[in-house]
A and B are shown apart, each in its own frame.
Chain A
């Protein structure tokens, strides 16, 4: 176990100490008084490494991360989980803009709201299946150009998504929504169906893990019906400039 007091520490020094700790075989980290340090946990490896963060971590948290778990006990800023490969980011507050940009594996669980452009360019391949679950609401350009993976929008506490232009250019992956859908927010490139038993069995594993992360009731989340949103085409813009 390693505790680092990050008060006033430049991000380079903080990340150096984390990397040196991991190299020495330390599995559990507590970062105290974090405020704005960029790039925490970027590119680090180790499935059994857990980093607890107290304070507001800076942008690009967990970018390119490959295995570890980051637990943020407050809000997170922009660009968390950028191109993340595997591992888990748990945010107990809200997250900023561009969550999981180009994410290709692992899980991001957000208790509160997330900002604009959640899951933009998210992708999956074979067993690589990135999953983002958001408890509250999201901003505009949700799931823009989504190519793979799964995003679940729970809308707990009756939070309605207040953005626009959802799932524009989506051509792969799946979105699940726990509430009735305001279809006008979504692009014409997607289809809406009621989630079936297979979907719910698939979701259950992740939603149980999500509710455990925040000590909330899994029954409450799983109790209501879900809608499934999938792209109509794997190439929505195939004929944007050419005739069919």
Chain B
């Protein structure tokens, strides 16, 4: 069964796709019914070959532990991965991910989750001094690359990805999302056109607490991939969305760029517009384009990404994919189509179409932004 290791020799994956996001700035939680209802309105944007959700705030009892969601093709892969985990992590709790086999989703990998933290006396300390986040990133890359039949699809704290092959509303039923509560949700409906749909290839793509859902095609995939490989990211999935997750991890977590600046790297202003800026901004944006030229995303895209501090929705620089946003009180909604928002919020305070390349950023009010040293104000 071609389920969780993508053996297909395709360079990238072009998608039509639909996406949605819900965030409550005051961290009021909702269960998965709303996001399921919204993404199901965009049913026809996908073709049943990939659906998925990310939720934040769903593991409050284990909020300080990394929550690994792992897909297994066979039980020997599970044994091997668990040996690795036991050697390197303290496993506070492990359990099968609760699922409900339905008439729509009946053939699936074995899905297990682990609440873990890296051991302080783990073996890699003999060689280098990695922080916990870096060690988790290395472990995810290692398992996904070297353990055949195993794939880590979620590794953040107090958040989780739930995804698979199927329409998103059926995936929501499969994972019983109506029983899960969170203060931020993203959802994706996939229409893969260049590679078959497989469980690991469904969105969201996550790493630590970053999660990305994406509609479009990253034509710059080759350049982005080579750039990330220099920083030891392993691009195992052969799908373009993966690069966005790792670029954000590199720019924001590793290089400590403020979110807004990192976003202008992904969708940078055109040089003709940089020319019109005042000298300070001109210098800044020129430098960003020069330093991070290989992290620029080219091609049509609309993305929604979640992180511990909030949610961002953004288009490519000339708006080649749809994106609509609305707000109602402390809730902000984003979607590929207005109808998806109206299905769960018939009377928003405002509804608007974000401009090309201009991100919609919603941060939680308690101000838990991950980066430090925000020196540059925009």
Contact = CB atoms under 8 A, between A and B. Distances in A.
Contacts, number: 51
B342 A56 contact: yes
Interface residues of A, number: 20
Contact of B319 (A38, A58, A139): A139
Interface stretch (B63-71, B87-95, B161-169, B333-341): B333-341
B44 A11 contact: yes
B85 interface: no
Contacts of B338: 36, 56, 75, 77, 96
Contacts of B324: 96
Interface string B286-328: 0000000000000000000000000000000011001010000
B337 A77 contact: yes
Give the interface size class of chain B: 10 to 19
Given A96-B322, A97-B322, A35 B41 contact: yes
B356 interface: yes
Q: Which of A35, A59, A140 counts the most B-chain CB atoms under 10 A from its CB?
A: A35
Given A75-B351, A140-B356, A162-B355, A36 B319 contact: no
A116 B41 contact: no
Contacts of B337: 36, 58-59, 77-78
Contacts of B353: 94, 96-97, 115, 139
A141 interface: yes
Contacts of A78: 322, 337
Nearest to B318: A140
B342 A35 contact: yes
B42 A36 contact: yes
B218 to A, nearest CB: 20
Nearest to A165: B318
A75 B319 CA distance: 19
A55 interface: yes
A244 to B, nearest CB: 26
Contact of B339 (A58, A139, A140, A141): A58
Interface in B39-64: 41-42, 44
Nearest to B343: A35
A77 B44 contact: no
Contact of A36 (B41, B351, B355, B356): B41
A115 B337 CA distance: 13
Given A36-B337, A38-B44, A115-B319, 9 more contacts: A35-B41, A55-B342, A56-B339, A75-B338, A77-B338, A140-B318, A140-B356, A141-B318, A162-B355
Interface of A: 11, 35-36, 38, 55-56, 58-59, 75, 77-78, 94, 96-97, 115-116, 139-141, 162
17 contacts: A11-B44, A35-B41, A36-B41, A36-B342, A38-B44, A56-B338, A58-B337, A77-B339, A78-B322, A97-B319, A97-B322, A97-B353, A115-B319, A116-B319, A139-B319, A139-B353, A139-B355
